[in-house]
Amino acid sequence: MDAFQYRGNSLLVEDLPLSSVAERFGTPTYVYSRRAIVDAFAEFRRAAGTRDVLVCYALKANSNLAVIDLLAREGAGFDIVSGGELKRVLAAGGDPSRVVFSGVGKQETEMRMALEAGVRCFNVESESELLRLDRVAGALGRRAPVSLRVNPDVDAGTHPYISTGLRENKFGIAHDAALAAYRTAARLPNVEVIGIDCHIGSQITSIDPFMAALDKLLELVDTLHAEGIVLRHIDLGGGLGIRYADEEPPSREALFRAIFERIDRHPRGASFGLVFEFGRSIVGNAGVLLTRVEYLKSNAERRFAIVDAAMNDLMRPALYDAWHGVLPVEARDASPAQVYDIVGPVCESGDWLARGRKLAIAEGDLLAIASAGAYGMAMASNYNTRARAAEVIVDGSDAHLVRERESVESLFALERRLPR
């Protein structure tokens, strides 16, 4: 959260007081720091040095066109999980030859779109998908570049909903079935086997699970090589964690250093390119959700601060029991602090953003819900017919509106009443 700092009692994003963002654009509003996004990506790029490494940005963390555009200009590749996300990359000026296409349920139309755009690689998650891709590519007279997503059965040590590399998860091809799937792939005329990949989960705060996954992949790479199936890249997915509260994830540099050391010890290590698919660690701490306190209220048990943002704007607390910092935009040194649950107006008891926070606040105050740049707006809904928040990117002391606040009329514009 380096780009969000107090100057005196006022919370700034880069050089701009968040209060002026609220004045100009209203609340709730997602506010991102351009510098924080660029710096996070640049740190990966620096850590990669001159190696053959493609750092993709996993679009699903925050798919605003301005974010994609910014990262495309910095040289990012993109990890997509739908045809819709491919359209976003193209609309934002991203280079399709730096796109990897992940996801367990790719439809034929999505495959066609990706083949025609010329994506770098399909990360294939089942034999059925492999056969479908071969057929679709054949009909277009193309060869589809593929990597098989292997489920290495390693525990990422993270929340069950964001852990993806365990045997019981729906993702990938089981490690012990991967060899057979590669043999199938190798004999299909319209696919070209180029890599192997995995993605074991999200918000991973230690290097060990990445290394365990890499070891499993390298083992397979060797077995495949012995059979004459030669791979050009290893894609280790994303999942690097960020600090929400007191987590201490490894630095981007430390993670890469450990991975490179392991690759360099492999006899054919120099022949593999590496691909990564980071989402949260690029945008997570680059954004806040700016919201205003509507009411303070208490009952026998609790004090509540009812704010104008809700679970439809930021779903992570309701969905994963996630912890986000809560920062007063104008600190009140002199006022006494009380312990509050920060809740929204949605008609669900699960509609909370933070619980048990000691804050000195009054009705009308602005709060910043911290670390909301990833899986915030991207997961927002219109539940309770709530228009989704505006999005703003701040660059120095300039604020750019990158998504207008939705109008309520637009929410039911596609609906029709029954005929009389």
Residues marked active site are found at 347
Q: Which of 277, 308, 313, 391 binds ligand PLP (CB under 6 A)?
A: 277
Please tell me what DSSP assigns to residue 63: -
- Give the range of 185-193, 274-282, 340-348, 392-400 binding ligand PLP by CB under 6 A: 274-282
- Give the range of 11-19, 55-63, 210-218, 332-340 binding ligand PLP by CB under 6 A: 55-63
- Give the range of 27-35, 111-119, 275-283, 383-391 binding ligand PLP by CB under 6 A: 275-283
What tokens does 249 get? 């994830």
Least separation in angstroms between residue 226's CB and ligand PLP is 28
- Give the range of 62-70, 231-239, 294-302, 381-389 binding ligand PLP by CB under 6 A: 231-239
Question: What is the DSSP track for 237-283?
Answer: ---B---SSS--PPPHHHHHHHHHHHHHHSTTGGG-EEEEEESHHHH
Closest CB to ligand PLP among residues 162, 329 = 162
Closest CB to ligand PLP among residues 140, 174 = 174
The H or E element spanning position 178 is helix 178-187
Least separation in angstroms between residue 285's CB and ligand PLP is 12
Q: Is 61 in the site for ligand PLP (CB under 6 A)?
A: yes
Q: Which of 238, 249, 317, 328 binds ligand PLP (CB under 6 A)?
A: 238
Q: Is 60 in the site for ligand PLP (CB under 6 A)?
A: yes
The H or E element spanning position 110 is helix 108-117
Bridge pairing between strands 287-298 and 366-369 = antiparallel
Residue (of 388, 361, 347) closest to 293 by Cα position: 361
Q: Which of 33, 62, 82, 102 binds ligand PLP (CB under 6 A)?
A: 102
Across 94-126, b (16+ Cβ under 10 Å) vs e yields bbbebbbbbbbebeeebbbbbbebebbbbbbbb
Question: Which of the residues 193 through 212 are near ligand PLP (CB under 6 A)?
Answer: 199, 202
Q: Is 237 in the site for ligand PLP (CB under 6 A)?
A: yes
Least separation in angstroms between residue 57's CB and ligand PLP is 9
Least separation in angstroms between residue 68's CB and ligand PLP is 14
Q: Is 287 in the site for ligand PLP (CB under 6 A)?
A: no
Determine how many CB atoms are found less than 10 A away from the CB of residue 261.
11
Half-sphere exposure of 170 (CA within 13 A, CB side): 5
Please count the residues of this chain forming the interface with ligand PLP, following the rule CB under 6 A.
Answer: 18
C-alpha 326/C-alpha 79 separation (Å) is 31
Task: List C-alpha distances in Å: 152 to 123, 172, 221.
Answer: 15, 9, 13
- Give the range of 69-77, 133-141, 273-281, 405-413 binding ligand PLP by CB under 6 A: 273-281
- CB within 8 Å of 70: residues ≥ 6 apart: 34, 37, 38, 393
Residue type, 389: A
Task: List residues near ligand PLP by CB under 6 A.
Answer: 58, 60-61, 79, 81, 102, 199, 202, 237-240, 277-281, 374
